[in-house]
Chains A and B, each alone.
Chain A
Amino acid sequence: MRVIIGYGNKLRGEDGFGVDVIEVLQKRKLVDTKLISVMQLTPELTLELLAATHIIFVDTAFSQTDHYALACAMEIQNGAALSHHIAPQTIRMFLRLLYAKNPDFEIISMLSSNFDEIPNKRSYKRSLNAVVAYLS
């Protein structure tokens, strides 16, 4: 089973990109796909991923340049300093070390530096459509 996790805060401008992607995908009736929309990644999310063979994280990643570009942002910004939210890589570690699960992983990040509003709605929509098309 494929699991797509869109995460972010819709009250924080372009940070809600992952959640918006999930909202569109929910209307597509994708086969063998579980859609999860969350504000942040938390340890217990691991339990919802035990049956997954392929996990795709959709998020917004901070970048001073390349706004609205799609990328795979792998930088762990909170790593071992674990707070109440964790990185996709940490979820992967939970799955591998605690539950002997090793599904395929993808990270799709829309680059942005604006977490107050969506200044360019057209570019935002273009990025959203591109991700939705890729995942559909």
Chain B
Amino acid sequence: MKKIIIDPVTRIEGHAKITIDVDANNRISDAKIHVTQFRGFEKFCEGQIYSQMPALTARTCGICPVSHAISSIKACDILLGVTPPQAGINLRKIINLAQILQSHTLSFFHLSSPDFIYGFDAKKEDRNIFKMMQTHPQMAKDGIMLRAFGQKVIQTLGGKRIHPDGLVPGGVEQNLDTQTKNTLLLEIPNAIKIAEETLIFFKNNLAKFEKEIDSFGVFPSLFMALVDENGNLEHYDGKLKIIDSEGNVLQENISPQHYKEFIGEAVEAESYLKSPYYKPFGYPQGMYRVGALARLNIAKACGTPKADKELLAFKALNAGKPVLNSFYYHYARLIEMLYALEKIELLLKDETTMGEALHRTSKILKTQAVGCSEAPRGTLFHDYEVDTNGIIQKVNLIIATGNNNLAMNAGLKQVAQTFINAEDVSEGALNRVEALIRCFDPCLSCSTHALGIVSSNIELKDHNKNIIQIFKRN
């Protein structure tokens, strides 16, 4: 057996490598993603005071710090027994949606769009954002504009673009004033126009990618997401819902506090990324997917007019049953971008958003709490145990990307078996292997630019696990 190694995987967030096993008959027998960076947050958070956790855990990442801060402050709210004022909740929701907007924008415009514009077989030197700037400058500008808007919302309401410090237990530090509200509202119509045009571009190009749509991680799996009290799309709060690939409801109305009854965590060799699974089905049969695709598969509606119209078309892809093609994560993210903009507008116009945004308190009432929210890449859990002084005794984090670990591996195997010829590995095939990973938009976390070492590699190994070839992707 041979093994193909892609190392580093490019145009993803963080550091990883992919290994592809080839059997004695030159057939692909397995493929896996290995996350090669170790962070250790769960361990070194022990001994910290609870109030440090939002700022500390936000450092898990430079791209989705808001998500960590949101889940963390929600856990702290429970420890303190406090419900933030409605204005505080609304402002948290706005900041969370702005983060989803800017993250999805980065994923589509800066990481994945070169594949959609030039195709997966285009020359490597053409398949990047520099070429895109030359041939599709308006699209590149649109990506910058949407990112800028998302970051502006986070900075204005949260204090900083990256690692905002305005998200605190009990609400948010800063109330919304009329001038800020009006300034942000002014930019939304143009942002919505860009999001709609991008959706049209994507849908118009889908016919070019039929083979990828039919082979990029298309398999039955469970799906998990938060939904609101009406079963609609929800990113900040709500209850967990789990469905199967036919759309049958396995669990609903689950409080995130009870996640351990349903979610188990396995560890796989050669990777620091955990492999969560649906406990009743066991490991690894309990594989589930989270993120934009799962959210849209589970939600009955978005609750905003433009996104709801798009959701209807999305659900029609599989006649109302869950969409199983991981390629459509891109589609789902674009719909969520539109939703995020519409919802931010609604929340900014909501009069209750203008009230007092923070309920101050500091007495520990509970010693265990789970904060949960929908991050751009899926459901994020922060589970804290503290002593009566609020000192952290134990932390368990289930990161959004980790939820998708088993599904990413299943998708990798499928793509490798479809496109890789072990005797002659083409650049287009390697790019498709990486592109499967980009469908999930994994965030493997890096919050410093300092060493700036590129993301990942692909390894080819024989049946004795000997490396035959390494494809360096930098």
Binding site for B on A (CB under 8 A): 7-9, 11-12, 15, 38-44, 46-47, 60, 62, 77-85, 90, 93-94, 97-99, 115
Contacts and interface: CB of A to CB of B under 8 A. Distances in A.
A7 B448 CA distance: 10
Given A41-B449, A44-B144, A98 B133 contact: yes
A78 B455 CA distance: 8
B163 A93 contact: no
Given A62-B451, A97-B130, 13 more contacts: A7-B449, A15-B450, A40-B162, A44-B148, A47-B144, A77-B454, A81-B473, A83-B454, A84-B62, A90-B130, A94-B144, A97-B140, A98-B141
Contact of B12 (A7, A40, A83): A83
Interface in B432-474: 446-455, 473-474
B452 A15 contact: no
B118 to A, nearest CB: 13
Contacts of B14: 83
Most chain B CB within 10 A, of A12, A40, A99, A115, is at A40
A60 B106 CA distance: 25
A42 B151 contact: yes
- What's the dominant secondary structure at chain B's contact region? loop
Given A43-B143, A44-B148, A82-B128, A77 B59 contact: no
A80 B10 CA distance: 9
A93 B8 CA distance: 24
B9 to A, nearest CB: 9
Top-4 shortest CB links A-B: A77-B452, A44-B148, A80-B128, A81-B10
Interface in B110-164: 110-111, 124-125, 128-130, 133-134, 137, 140-141, 143-145, 147-148, 151, 161-163
Interface of B: 8, 10-14, 59, 62-63, 106, 110-111, 124-125, 128-130, 133-134, 137, 140-141, 143-145, 147-148, 151, 161-163, 446-455, 473-474
Specify which of A60, A97, A115 lies most central, judged by the most chain B CB atoms within 10 Å of its CB: A97
Given A77-B454, A83-B446, A11 B59 contact: yes
Give the residue among B129, B446, B473 with the most A Cβ atoms within 10 A: B129
Contacts of A85: 62, 449, 452
9 contacts: A8-B448, A11-B448, A40-B449, A82-B111, A82-B128, A83-B111, A85-B452, A94-B140, A97-B137
Contact of A62 (B11, B450, B455): B450
A57 to B, nearest CB: 12
**Which of A8, A41, A78 has the largest number of chain B CB atoms within 10 A?**
A78
A90 B10 CA distance: 17
Nearest to B15: A83
Contacts of A44: 144-145, 147-148, 151
Given A82-B129, A84-B62, A94-B133, A115 B451 contact: yes
Contacts of A7: 449
Contacts of B448: 8-9, 11-12, 15, 39-40, 115
Q: In this complex, which of A47, A85, A90 has the most chain B Cβ atoms within 10 angstroms of its Cβ?
A: A85
A47 to B, nearest CB: 5
Nearest to A99: B141
Contacts of A8: 448-450
A47 B446 contact: no
A40 B62 contact: yes
A94 B109 CA distance: 14
